[in-house]
Amino acid sequence: MAASTLDILGIGNAILDVLARAEDGFLAAQGMTKGAMALIDTSRAEAIYGAMGPGVESSGGSAGNTCAVAAALGARVGFLGKVADDALGRVFAHDIRAAGVAFPTAPLQGGDPTARCLILVTPDGQRTMNTYLGACVSFGEADVDAAMVASAAVTYLEGYLFDPPAAQAAFRRAAALAHAAGRQVAISLSDPFCVGRHREAFRAFVARQADIVFANEAEIMSLYETESLEAAIEAVRRDAGLAAITRSEKGSIIVAGEATHEIAAEPTTVVDTTGAGDAYAAGFLAALTQGHALPECGRWGSVAAAECIGHFGARPQAELKALVGA
| Cβ atoms of 37 and 186 closer than 8 Å | no
Q: Does residue 124 interact with its own copies by CB under 8 A?
A: no
- The verdict on 313 binding its own copies (CB under 8 A) reads yes
84-116 burial: b if 16+ Cβ within 10 Å, else e: bbbebbebbbebbeebebbbebebbeeebbbbb
Query: Which residue, 211 or 278, has its beta carbon nearer to its own copies?
Result: 278
CB of 99 vs its own copies, minimal distance in Å: 5
CB of 28 to its own copies, least distance (A): 19
Give the residue from 2, 8, 36, 18 showing the smallest Cα distance to 191: 36
Q: Check residue 206 for interaction with its own copies (CB under 8 A).
A: no
- From 68, 213, 276, 309, residue interacting with its own copies (rule: CB under 8 A): 68
**Binding to its own copies by residue 55, rule CB under 8 A?**
yes
DSSP string, 229-293: HHHHHHHHHHH-SEEEEE-GGG-EEEEETTEEEEEPPPP---S--TTHHHHHHHHHHHHHHTT--
Contact call for residue 99 and its own copies (CB under 8 A): yes
Instruction: Considering the complex, state which of residue 222 and residue 268 has its C-beta at the smaller distance from its own copies.
Output: 268
Site for its own copies in 141-200 (CB under 8 A): none
- Helices 276-289, 294-309: inter-axial angle, 10-degree rounding: 150
| 85 lies in the site for its own copies, by CB under 8 A | no
Q: Give min distance, CB of 311 to its own copies, in A.
A: 7
Is 29 one of the binding residues for its own copies (CB under 8 A)? no
20 belongs to the binding site for its own copies (CB under 8 A): yes
Instruction: By CB under 8 A, name the binding residues for its own copies.
Output: 20-21, 49-50, 52-59, 68, 86-88, 91, 94-96, 98-99, 311-313, 315, 317
